[in-house]
Amino acid sequence: MNRLLTGLVAALASGPIGSASLALAGQEGHAAAGGAAAVRTLQSVPAQLWVWLIPGLPMLAAVVAVLCAMLRVRSKFPAYFTVLCLAGAFGVTLWMFSQLQQGGPGAYWVVHLFDWINFTWLPGKEFVANFSLYIDPLTCLWMLFVTGLAACIALYASEYMSHDLGAGYCRFFFAFGLFVFSMACLVMGDNLLMLYLGWEGVGLCSYLLIGYFYQKPAAVAAAKKAFIVNRIGDLGLALAIMLIFVKFGTIEYAKLWPLVQGYVDLALAGHFDQIPMSVQGIAYLLIVAAFGKSAQLPLYVWLPDAMEGPTPVSALIHAATMVTAGVYLIARMMPIFQASEHALWIVAWVGGLTALLAATIAMAQFDIKRIMAYSTVSQLGFMFAGLGVLTSTGAAFHVFTHAFFKATLFLACGAVMHGFAGQLDLRKLSGVAWMKGWGIVGAAMLVGCVNLAGLPFTAGFFSKDMILAQAYGQEGFRPLAIVLLFTALLTAYYTFRVFFRVFVGPKSFEPGDEVHGHDDGHGDAHGHGDDHGKGHDHSHAKGHAHGGFVPHAPGWAINTVLALLAVASIAAAYAYPTHFVENLVNNSTARVAHASGAHGGGHGEHEGILGYDLHTAMYVISGAVAVLGIGIAFVLHYAGRKTAAVSLADAVKLGAIQRWAQHKWYVDEFYDFTIRLPLKFLACVLSFIDKFLVDGLVNLAGFIPRWIGSRLRPTQSGELHGYAVGMAIGISTIGLVALWVLW
């Protein structure tokens, strides 16, 4: 710890310092299969501990937040210090990325800070897990948007959470900083135990942030649900790490990849029968971990309920960072997955079905924040489908673009909730973008919507197209491509359903349930379904400007962040023609190996569509699908609408399907009936056995001597005539027994 603090202080004061154990590796050619991942050779070179500032600065912010709580600070200092630290971490990440690029294709670093766990468990068998960082292009890609978005969202939260200045404010930013530190450990760790440390850390912080309003039962229940469901995935990851160590004798990435390469070569040659099932089984355990953390079937149910947390939490954890940890895990461990015969097929189809299911639910919801939550589940499904159809470039690119536009969407919805006393029902809001002070929110929402819908030439359009084209061109996955295309149509529809109902159209609103508070010029209200805080008017009346209620327009912090994220969402499209993400992925372990030597990013030769190149044709098809979805939303939710509550969509009746979708296909109820209630019944039975059988036997063993003693106690009264009577009775009894025996 002293060395860490010394290194951080020296780095802040003088820039590059000392020397740590850092390794720079470069590609040395391909394996015998002709397209396998490149073999790398480590070379020791000087290093600087400044790389540790990336996880160190968020931890410093968390520590300062604790100190502020102890000193009872009631200002925005914890927020601004957190923003400063996270902005510094983003700056260091940019510098790290630029320095890594100078090492050439395939370069990576291992930056050692101190020995953590190192012991010999059998002769010649060592378990090594040091506190070290593994820096390669995939690490840089993830940390660029993690730190950049975290800094922006912290600035947004400085205003959004200002209703809770004091201990609650400090508690929020403590969990915020700790979360970013944990995410850095997850992404940057050089071994699987470091990854597991970060994995559990983000789970803990998610629990703390979702349950921030701990006096509200719904928030507490949502936090527990997220924590418990994630435990299932965490068990899969723990077992996978153990099995990796048993089979390969190491959990350090740099030592693991050469050992896995032989199995990858066998897989590329089609010899899966020569790969032990214990090796192939590692991928299935990792799938369980990824599905839990990234909310895929059947473990997706925690994420929509997580909207009970404050909106900045939704944007940070459930749009851009924590929920993509499962995608990162599979991308990082891609060699393991390629050595398994059916693992990627499972990843692809579960991702596609999750995307479709979540989209159908989102179409039938009325809470705009919850719609965005199901949209996140759906888009995560797209990412997993991309990994499964061997376009890790497409999956990583969609992670990159989705991080910006989904954070924009969540924060725009949060600004509406913040200003309209907790109102999130799309049937009670209209024309928000045309109201005074809401122009930036409306514009940011439009940018986010066109990206999520995949309108042509947007970042979301390009990243989805890479996945759709690869799925259509990949042997055996054409039905999956059709499922994903239909999902894209639904996505465009429900996205602009929100935009047309809430942000354009006739100006009308009803304040939410938090309107009974007082107008203090600050954030949200206490007691609403998603967030708490203070309201903005004494009146209980509802309606357009009824009762004197005036919407509270967002301040400079919220508007600044929304503008920055909107610009970033637009600029992210530039990463496609420049091959920014593609180059990073193909120079990392996420690169997909092909026996034919095809391009690792999934751009090999594929069958075209109607004589056109596959990607060109998919541009047209996916673009047309997006326009069609937006057009349907325009007709049903904008054209001819006179009030916020009524639209042409009300005339569309789908009967039971519509009702089931509104109730989320009764998945939670099914889980309650098949899992929760049986377990509760079993727990009651075991409790009865424990209380009355186990404890009863123990209590009986203690009761019998006590009862015997109570019966004998009167005989020891100390009275001589009592003893004489006892002796007489005893002698008489012995005499009678002797007489009976002799007779």
Q: What tokens does 351 get?
A: 């991702």
Residues 312 and 373 in one domain: no
Closest CA to 312 of 536, 562, 627: 562
CA distance 359 to 365: 10
Domain count along the chain:
3
Please tell me the least confidently modeled range out of 189-203, 544-558, 578-592, 593-607.
593-607
Q: What tokens does 368 get?
A: 């705009």
Whether 669 shows a pLDDT value over 70: the answer reads yes
CA distance 610 to 472: 13
The distance in angstroms from the start CA to the end CA of the chain is: 91
Given the structure tokens 């050595």, which residue do they identify?
339
Residues 197 and 260 in one domain: yes
Residues 428 and 283 in one domain: no
Q: Check if the beta carbon of residue 135 is closer than 8 Å to that of residue 25.
A: no
Specify the pLDDT at position 352.
95
Other beta carbons within 10 angstroms of residue 38's beta carbon come to 20
Encode pLDDT of 174-209 as tens digits: 999 999 999 999 999 999 999 999 999 999 999 999
**Helix (H/G/I), strand (E/B), else coil: 609:** strand
Q: What tokens does 705 get?
A: 């001597």
CA distance 90 to 667: 40
Residue 35 lies in a domain: yes
Residues 594 and 686 in one domain: no
Residues 288 and 193 in one domain: yes
Residues 367 and 258 in one domain: no
Other beta carbons within 10 angstroms of residue 415's beta carbon come to 29
Using pLDDT thresholds of 50, 70 and 90, give the confidence band for residue 656: confident
CA distance 85 to 66: 15
Encode pLDDT of 685-733 as tens digits: 999 998 888 888 888 888 888 888 887 777 777 777 777 877 888 888 8
Helices (H) and strands (E) in the chain, counts: 27, 6
Closest CA to 303 of 292, 312, 311: 292
- Name the average pLDDT for the chain: 84
Residues 293 and 366 in one domain: no
Residues 455 and 476 in one domain: yes
Whether 108 shows a pLDDT value over 70: the answer reads yes
Residue 657 lies in a domain: no
Q: Which domain holds residue 708?
A: 667-742
Specify the pLDDT at position 547.
55
Instruction: Using alpha carbons, list the distances in angstroms from residue 669 to 296, 376, 606, 657, 663.
Output: 18, 22, 44, 16, 9
| Residue where a domain stops, chosen among 275, 304, 331 | 331
Specify the pLDDT at position 17.
31
Whether 457 shows a pLDDT value over 60: the answer reads yes
Residues 261 and 385 in one domain: no
Q: What tokens does 164 get?
A: 């809770």
Pairing label, strands 429-430, 508-509: antiparallel
| Residue where a domain stops, chosen among 652, 683, 705 | 652
pTM: 0.86
CA distance 302 to 293: 10
Residue 22 bridge partners (DSSP): 45
- Cβ burial of 181 (10 Å; 0-12, 13-18, 19+) is buried
Residues 48 and 83 in one domain: yes
CA distance 127 to 133: 17
Query: What's the alpha-carbon Rg for the chain, to the nearest Å?
Result: 31
Other beta carbons within 10 angstroms of residue 124's beta carbon come to 6
Residue 520 lies in a domain: no
Encode pLDDT of 124-155 as tens digits: 678 889 999 999 999 999 999 999 999 999 99
CA distance 393 to 582: 5
Residue 439 lies in a domain: yes
Higher-pLDDT residue of 28 and 623 is: 623
Secondary structure E strands in 316-433: 429-430
Cβ-Cβ contacts under 8 Å for 91 (sequence gap 6 or more): none
Specify the pLDDT at position 483.
95
Encode pLDDT of 502-543 as tens digits: 999 888 888 877 765 444 333 343 333 344 333 333 333 344
Residue 449 lies in a domain: yes
Residues 584 and 711 in one domain: no
CA distance 422 to 532: 8
CA distance 283 to 304: 27
Residue 577 lies in a domain: yes
Instruction: Using alpha carbons, list the distances in angstroms from residue 121 to 118, 127, 325, 492.
Output: 10, 7, 31, 56
| Residue where a domain stops, chosen among 306, 331, 356 | 331
Q: Look up residue 416 and give its DSSP letter.
A: H
Residue 723 lies in a domain: yes
Residues 427 and 571 in one domain: yes
Instruction: Using alpha carbons, list the distances in angstroms from residue 23 to 48, 118, 141, 315.
Output: 12, 19, 19, 35
Residue 337 lies in a domain: no
**Helix (H/G/I), strand (E/B), else coil: 117:** strand
